[in-house]
Structure 1
Amino acid sequence: MTPVIEGWFTTGAEPRLLASRCTRCSNVVFPPVSSAAGAAAFYCRNPACDGQEQDSVELSRRGRVWSYTDAQYQPPAPYQPAGDPFQPFALAAVELPEGLVVLGQVADGYGVSDLKVGTEVELVVETLNVDETGERTIYRWKPIAGQEASA
């Protein structure tokens, strides 16, 4: 399994999103600062801080739906891979205990009817597609079992 975007999440039994944390003020940002950009490219996103060094941190696996919507319309090329039929999907903005709101697709088999503001979700890793290099994975948000969404 190869993540679609390297360095944004882990793929183990309990996957985690990876973020950058300023070593000066502890401000956390997702997506993380790319290691390809090098440490010199880091600057703190906190306007009150001029920190230029960062640590990599793992974020909480669970959060609560802050907002959600569905994507019913096929995006134009190059955002929709050629030859792949469009499958509508739900998007959730999830507030994590760290105070960040992270946008992501909702897990396969779930849609807006399974969500409401405040629904608890957990991070999962699923296959986005398979190409010549193998299985390509993406992080998604899966509603925690036992909750019922209301309209």
Structure 2
Amino acid sequence: MVDNWFAGEGDDFRLLGTRCAACACVFFPREDGFCRNPGCAGGELAEVPLSRRGRVWSYTDGRYRPPAPYVSDPELPWEPYTLIAVELEAERMVVLGQAVPGVAVTDLEVGMEVEVVPGVLNEDNGTTWTTWHWRPVEVGA
């Protein structure tokens, strides 16, 4: 788990960002030292939960072993994964992440609604490292 990037479980699961008190810019990954807005000298940043839902901005399939912190056993066959760039509703920012297992690029369309859910980065010796995944929202949900 990457500390302070997300919190909660189930319907309370959220990515965590920071908002600048001076210019109201929101950042993810979070920023705790300074405002990343080059036109702002503000430095007071507060943690904010980000929108749970957004719309697919772009997507692709990963046909290579990802770099750290993702873990893959070189002794096992490689399984492709789906990456989704999602524009968050309220923040109007794009956040990249993997799709939930089982979602392929053929299941996605630009503009479709997705939501952030907890995912598993790796499991080893009884320890589970968590991350976030994007999951398509069912029509009418």
TM-score range, shorter chain: 0.7 to 0.9
Which ranges of structure 1 fall in alignment gaps of 5 or more residues?
34-38
Q: Write out aligned runs for 1:115-130 (5 A).
A: 115-130=108-123
Cross-structure match for 1:64: 55
Q: Which amino acid aligns with 1:54?
A: L
Whether 2:104 is the aligned partner of 1:106: answer: no
Whether 2:21 is the aligned partner of 1:23: answer: yes
Cross-structure match for 1:36: none
Shift of 1:83: 4.8
* Structure 1 or 2: more strand by fraction: 2
The counterpart of 1:54, out of the listed 45, 68, 72, is 45
Aligned equivalents of 2:104, 2:37: Cα separation in 1: 34
Aligned equivalents of 1:84, 1:106: Cα separation in 2: 24
Q: What's the TM-score, normalizing by structure 1?
A: 0.82
Q: Write out aligned runs for 1:87-106 (5 A).
A: 87-97=79-89, 98-106=91-99
State the secondary structure of the residue aligned to 2:106. Answer: helix
Cross-structure match for 1:5: 2
Q: Which amino acid aligns with 2:8?
A: T
* Count of paired positions: 137
State the secondary structure of the residue aligned to 2:103. Answer: coil
Which ranges of structure 2 fall in alignment gaps of 5 or more residues?
none
Q: Which amino acid aligns with 1:104?
A: G
Q: Which amino acid aligns with 1:125?
A: P
Q: Percent identity?
A: 47
